Structure 1
Amino acid sequence: MTRLRLGPIVEEKPAKLTLELPGDLYRELTQYAAVHAKLTGLAAPLPPERIIPAMIGRFIASDREFSKQRRRSTNTS
Structure 2
Amino acid sequence: MAELKLPRLPDRTPVRLTISVMPELHAALVDYAAAYREAYGKEEPVSDLVTAMLESFLASDRAFARGRSR
**TM-score with structure 1 setting the length:** 0.66
Alignment gaps of 5+ in structure 2: 1-11
Give the superposed CA RMSD.
1.7
- Higher CA-based Rg: 2
Corresponding residue for residue 41 of structure 1: 41
How many residues are matched?
Answer: 59
**The residue matched to 2:28 in structure 1 has which SS?**
helix
For the structure 1 residues 15 and 62, does the alpha-carbon distance in structure 2 shift closer, same or farther, using more than 3 Å as the test? same
1:13 deviates by: 5.7
Corresponding residue for residue 61 of structure 1: 59
Aligned structure 1 segments of 4 or more residues deviating by more than 6 angstroms: none
Alignment identity in percent? 32
1:14 deviates by: 3.0
Task: Tell me: higher relative CO, structure 1 or 2? Use CA pairs within 8 A at least 6 residues apart.
Answer: 1
